[in-house]
């Protein structure tokens, strides 16, 4: 049986449709940082996990021919929130990092350093903390968030300016950013589990409008936002050459 990890976010639903009912799969849902630990300790065989795991040592194997979570521009769920009154990321001096995602944290660090040239210092928040409360207590300039928490913050914290990190990466390099994909534990090519993973993506992407409508009815940002997010903003597949170029560009910057 293939031990598979997924993130418990809206963004994963189109690639994991029906996966929990597949008898070939033992499914675990957890935040990206927990999936990373599962791949590292061997308790997971493959996970829909943060791309940083294949871009930074020990560079776990990435399914280059499989579906991905990527964007050519705005992603809307990987954001840097600027405190009220701060007009540009260039002015960030201290920022609060989301402990749930190494990729989101790494992307924010790269862009603050390379695109905005901000002499920014990172403060890691404890797991489970309200990052905006941490930011206010520390007098921080920005909060980085991913996933459904980032989407909720757009509605709940409108006074904090949201900067889209996917859009910033695209503007900087004119490359899509690959946030996540199917990644195997050390020594396991994730293509070895391609059958159930490919079937789930085929099901989910075929009924993408239905998934968007279901999620949109309950989402605080409303059905139009969710439909645009799932059907227009996100890239679910990339040509292998472009995917490799994007991952390599990310990896080079991680080493800088």
Secondary structure of the chain in the HEC alphabet?
CEEEEECCCHHHHHHCCCHHHCCCEEEEECCHHHHHHHHHHCCCCEEEEECHHHHCCCCCCECCCCCEEEECCCCCCEEEEECCCCCCHHHCCEEEECCCCHHHHHHHHHHHHHCCCCCCEEEECCCCCCHHHHHHHHCCCEEEEEHHHHHHHHHHCCCCEEEEHHHHHHHHHCCCEEEEEEEECCCCCHHHHHHHHHHHHHHHHHCHHHHHHHHHCCCCCHHHHHHHHHHHHEECCCCHHHHHHHHHHHHHHHCC
Residue 156 confidence (pLDDT): 93
Q: pLDDT of 157-170, one tens digit each?
A: 999 999 999 999 99
Residues 6+ apart with CB under 8 A from 242: 175, 176
CATH 3.40.190.10 occupies which residues in the chain?
Answer: 2-69+178-254, 78-173
Examine the pLDDT at 182 and tell me if it is beyond 90.
yes
Q: Measuring CA to CA, how many Å separate 85 from each of 53, 58, 143? A: 35, 41, 14
User: CATH second-level architecture of 78-173?
Assistant: 3-Layer(aba) Sandwich (3.40)
Q: pLDDT of 81-92, one tens digit each?
A: 999 999 999 999
Distance CA(98)–CA(124), nearest Å, equals: 7
Q: Which residues pair with 132 in a beta bridge?
A: none
Mean pLDDT within 209-234: 92
**Residue 24 · residue 93 · CB < 8 Å:** no
CATH T-level assignment (fold) for domain 2-69+178-254: D-Maltodextrin-Binding Protein; domain 2 (3.40.190)
pLDDT above 70 covers a percentage of the chain that reads 100
Residue 174, judged by CB atoms within 10 A of its CB (0-12, 13-18, 19+), counts as exposed
Residue 255 confidence (pLDDT): 87
Residue 6 confidence (pLDDT): 96
Evaluated on CA atoms 189, 192, 196, 198, the torsion sign reads: positive
Examine the pLDDT at 242 and tell me if it is beyond 90.
yes
Examine the pLDDT at 171 and tell me if it is beyond 80.
yes
């Amino acid at each position: 049986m293939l031990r598979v990890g997924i993130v418990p976010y809206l963004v994963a639903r189109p690639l994991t449709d029906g996966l929990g009912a597949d008898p070939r799969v033992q499914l675990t849902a957890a935040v990206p940082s927990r999936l990373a630990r599962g791949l590292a300790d061997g308790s997971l065989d493959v996970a829909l996990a943060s791309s940083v795991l294949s871009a930074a040592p020990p560079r776990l194997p990435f399914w280059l021919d499989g579906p991905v979570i990527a964007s050519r521009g705005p992603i809307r769920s990987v954001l840097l929130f600027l405190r009220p009154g701060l007009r540009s990321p260039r002015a960030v001096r201290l920022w609060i990092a989301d402990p749930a995602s190494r990729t989101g944290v790494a992307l924010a660090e790269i862009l603050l350093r390379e695109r905005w040239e901000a002499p920014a210092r990172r403060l890691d928040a404890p797991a489970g903390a309200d990052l905006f409360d941490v930011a206010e207590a520390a007098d921080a300039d920005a909060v980085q968030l991913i996933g459904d928490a980032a989407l909720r913050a757009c509605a709940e914290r409108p006074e904090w300016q949201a900067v889209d990190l996917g859009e910033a990466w695209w503007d900087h390099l004119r490359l899509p950013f690959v946030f996540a994909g199917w990644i195997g534990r050390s020594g396991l090519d994730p293509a070895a589990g391609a059958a159930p993973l490919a079937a789930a993506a085929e099901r989910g992407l075929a009924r993408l409008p239905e998934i968007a409508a279901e999620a949109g009815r309950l989402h605080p940002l409303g059905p139009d936002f969710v439909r645009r997010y799932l059907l227009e903003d996100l890239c679910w597949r990339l040509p292998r050459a472009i995917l490799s170029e994007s991952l390599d560009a990310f990896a080079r910057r991680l080493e800088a």
